[in-house]
Structure 1
Amino acid sequence: MQHPETHLALHHARAAELHAQADAYRLAAAAGPPRHLRIRLGWTLVEVGLRLATPRSPALAR
């Protein structure tokens, strides 16, 4: 059987680990490329992929 103090100490240690992980995630996200550039790049890749996947009609190939 665990003592309440042991349980509380484990809880505090795990909470500190989770806070450190959250801080690291926030820092990594802030250091990444701006969101609008990622969105623009993503839609450009979708457009290129659709153009590559669509077969050309013989009238447009001239």
Structure 2
Amino acid sequence: MNGSVFVSDNCARIGITDYAQDALGEVVFVEAPQMGARVEAGSVFGEVESTKSVSDFSPR
């Protein structure tokens, strides 16, 4: 999945690229880490479910 992570201080904002959004179609569910959770760079830490597929979220 084409995703992005923006980090500022100790906070991160996650998202998917326009390309991924177009490829997925309508997003119907997102599983993300709870606030305050630690995630390792490059590791899978969520899922994005759309009307077309379910994709792991692991931005690099």
Please indicate the TM-score interval, normalised by the length of the shorter structure.
Answer: under 0.3
Q: Between Structure 1 and Structure 2, which shows a larger proportion of strand residues?
A: 2
Determine which structure has greater relative contact order: mean sequence separation of CA pairs < 8 Å that are 6+ residues apart, divided by chain length: 2
Q: Between Structure 1 and Structure 2, which shows a larger proportion of helix residues?
A: 1
TM-score where L is the length of structure 1: 0.19
TM-score where L is the length of structure 2: 0.19
